[in-house]
Structure 1
Amino acid sequence: MKSSQLVAIIKRLEAMQEGADDEVQSRRFEKDGVEKGEVTFDPKTETYTLEEVVSHQQFEFDDIDLAAMEIYDLLDDSED
Structure 2
Amino acid sequence: MAMENSQLVAIISRLDAMMKAGESETQSRRFEKDGDERGVVTYNPVSKTFTLEEVATKQKFEFDNIDLAAMEIFDLLDD
More off after superposition, 18-27 vs 57-66: 18-27
Deviations 1:2-54 (A, max 9, x none): 00000000000000001131110000000000000000000000000000000
Identity across aligned pairs (percent)?
Answer: 66
Return the alpha-carbon distance in structure 2 between the equivalents of residues 32 and 20 of structure 1: 30
- Which residue in 2 is equivalent to 1:56? 58
> What is the TM-score when the length of structure 1 is the normalising length?
0.94
Cross-structure match for 1:25: 27
Matches within 5 A, 1:1-40: 1-40=3-42
Paired positions, count: 77
Alignment-mate amino acid for residue 67 of structure 2: D
Unaligned stretches of 5+ residues in structure 1: none
Structure 1 partner of 2:47: 45
Q: Where does structure 2 lack aligned partners over 5 or more consecutive residues?
A: none
After TM superposition, the runs of 4+ consecutive aligned structure 1 residues lying more than 2 A away are none
What's the counterpart of residue 78 of structure 2? 76
